[in-house]
A and B are shown apart, each in its own frame.
Chain A
Amino acid sequence: MTNISRRNLLKASAAGAAGVAAAGVSAKALAKSNGKRVVIVGGGIGGATAAQYLKKMDSTIDVTIVEYNKDYYTCFMSNEVIGGNRDIESIHFTYEKLAAKGIKVVYDTVTDIDAKGQVVKTKGGKSLAYDRCIVSPGVDYKWEAIEGFTPEVAATTIPHAWKAGPQTKLLRKQLEEMKDGGTVVVVAPPNPFRCPPGPYERVSQIAAYLKENKPKSKIVVLDPKKKFSKFGLFMDGWKRHYGYGTDNSMITWINSENGGTVSAVDVASKTVTAAAGKFKGDVVNIIPPQKAGSIAFKAGLTNDSGWCPIDHKTFESTIHKNIHVVGDSSVAAPMPKSGYAANSQAKVCAAAVASLLNGTTMIEPSWVNTCYSVIAPGQDGISVAMVYKYEGGKIVKVKGSGGLTGAYDPELRKREVLYAHSWFENITADTFG
């Protein structure tokens, strides 16, 4: 009876005095079971949300976030910064409000996670012991996929701007400096990747900027896919606003069937090599193929797919016990790799972790995803939505729910732009306090 689990103990206590009498537990075992330490790796959308909701669900949980940047810039709405419709300061968030809620924030780089010893190790030399660890490191890039494209090239000459901040500023600056009549080359990534409609919203935002300011310019999109998210809505929107499909189209989209797959870039001449041939840009934006954040690989949380397999109810890794993975790094399909999904998953994961630490039964989970894209600033917003439930050991779409914005209606499209901005204000309030 001495090694009775906390779960059974609580069951026993719920059963009343009889249960207590049966439980011959030592004081030492009880003291140990009070340890409810959660270490969160990465303070982005998934990590910051998980931290806040864990504290809210059970304030006795000791929550620590390890994040290497003091300043977080949201990727969402960064396309509006690139298009010149938003100040970068409006997508800048910090961790003071989380700290004020009793969450410990450590600014450091996680270098390893010892799954057996239950310790998170940092570059600064810290060893942080945990009872449960939550990992939300976002994405990393397959740099080897495009010859000539390196982190140094991205930082100085050809931005990916797929993590917001300095990269966003660099791409914006290049667009501002480009002459009228210039060519912008955008290289889209293969599936799966962070924010499926994101590259096409970016193309729309850049097109809006050029149409207004440099109308003789062109955008060439090189895509290794046949189609993409919200395809019909984007095509329709590009026709309406940017002459798509006409001789005078601002946007040319070259898909996989037409040789859009890119293999190399010559940095000096800003020339991209695709199956269809060479494309020279005045501004080049390469969004490279993606995989789980590098710490997920170091900690052995990934499988052959390059992403982290998880239990769909608790988000616990199916490879390492006591480590949960949420957000872009996790394999949570049919949910997309989006901020809304990361936020929604983090709350379900927090509920799972709080239940596991307290030995209670987890509430049946529920998730939502909503992704807005603004095709034309102030005028034309579209969205995709979905409600998810847990069934047969998996996250599944609730039949009949969700889907895309309907046929063009100028009044409703305008509303969707304001709802997109509302979503931004609310999800960031929810995530960063």
Chain B
Amino acid sequence: MKKANLSLLASAVLAGSMVASSAAVAFDRGEMLANTCAGCHGPGGISHGPATPSIAGNSEAYFVESMEAYKSGERPSTIMTRIAKGYSTADFEAMAAYFAKQKYISAKQSTDASMAKIGEKLHDKYCEKCHTEAGKLAEDESGFLAGQWKPYLQYNLHDFAVSQDREMPKKMAKKLDALYKKHGQEGLDQLVEFYATK
């Protein structure tokens, strides 16, 4: 009798603890921190646009590097330089782990097919080597380009190539500089249209 009762109780307790731990396991400090990003970057890091980038699915290394660069001011921004100063490296790592697990979804936006076609050629020539598959591989350890909101892509290309406010890796600087010299703003716009179709 006693034995039977105990096993019944054990299974009941187990069921209870599973419910509790399902809540606890699914929710950690990374998600607590990440929840505060959703107001601008969308639930689960998928932005509903029109300009804030989606940050789901990024590589953890890229996420942490970006946040550190915002924090130090090395990467210019309207608002992220102010927000990044609120967190430690451990916080960045916890958020990065959360966002890396979220599925990236390309933004739905209107694009210009003929511009995108030229943009694809430019991408193949100048960018593909590091941003493989139109920049949608987390393993490349750079931000997603494919399916990113157009204004965000424009801002970043502007800061890199036009105003040159932002530092880039040497190879990238060489390539982007060459692209901009030869194709100008139009080339950047075509590139943006191409990524937006992906």
Stretch at the interface among A25-33, A117-125, A164-172, A260-268: A25-33
Among A20, A60, A423, point to the contact of B9 (Cβ < 8 A). A20
Among A27, A34, A423, point to the contact of B52 (Cβ < 8 A). A423
Are B39 and A423 interface neighbours, CB within 8 A? yes
Are A33 and B16 interface neighbours, CB within 8 A? yes
Stretch at the interface among A142-150, A314-322, A362-370: A362-370
Stretch at the interface among A104-112, A325-333, A340-348: A340-348
Size class of the contact patch on chain B: 35 or more
Interface of B is mostly: helix
Q: Which residue on chain A has the smallest CB distance to residue B7?
A: A20
B173 interface contact, C-beta 8 A: no
Given contacts A13-B14, A358-B19, whether A23 and B38 have CB atoms under 8 Å apart is no
Are A358 and B20 interface neighbours, CB within 8 A? yes
Cβ contacts under 8 Å, A190 to chain B: none
Cβ contacts under 8 Å, A173 to chain B: none
Instruction: Report the number of A-B residue pairs with Cβ-Cβ less than 8 Å.
Output: 168
B4 interface contact, C-beta 8 A: no
Given contacts A354-B27, A363-B32, whether A427 and B87 have CB atoms under 8 Å apart is no
A87 interface contact, C-beta 8 A: no
Among B17, B151, B158, point to the contact of A418 (Cβ < 8 A). B151
Given contacts A344-B36, A367-B36, A422-B50, whether A13 and B16 have CB atoms under 8 Å apart is yes
Size class of the contact patch on chain A: 35 or more
| Among B9, B79, B163: residue with most chain A CB under 10 A | B79
Cβ contacts under 8 Å, A411 to chain B: 158, 163
Among B42, B48, B78, point to the contact of A412 (Cβ < 8 A). B78
Question: How far, in angstroms, from A358 to B20 measured CA to CA in the complex?
Answer: 5
* 5 sampled A-B residue pairs with Cβ under 8 A: A344-B39, A358-B19, A363-B28, A364-B29, A370-B39
18 new A-B contacts, CB < 8 A, other than A20-B13, A429-B42, are A13-B17, A25-B13, A27-B8, A34-B16, A58-B23, A344-B35, A347-B36, A348-B32, A354-B23, A355-B24, A364-B32, A368-B37, A370-B39, A386-B86, A415-B155, A419-B51, A419-B78, A426-B40
* Chain B residues close to A by CB (< 8 Å): 6, 8-10, 12-14, 16-17, 19-24, 26-29, 31-33, 35-43, 47-52, 78-79, 82-83, 85-87, 91, 149, 151, 155, 158, 163
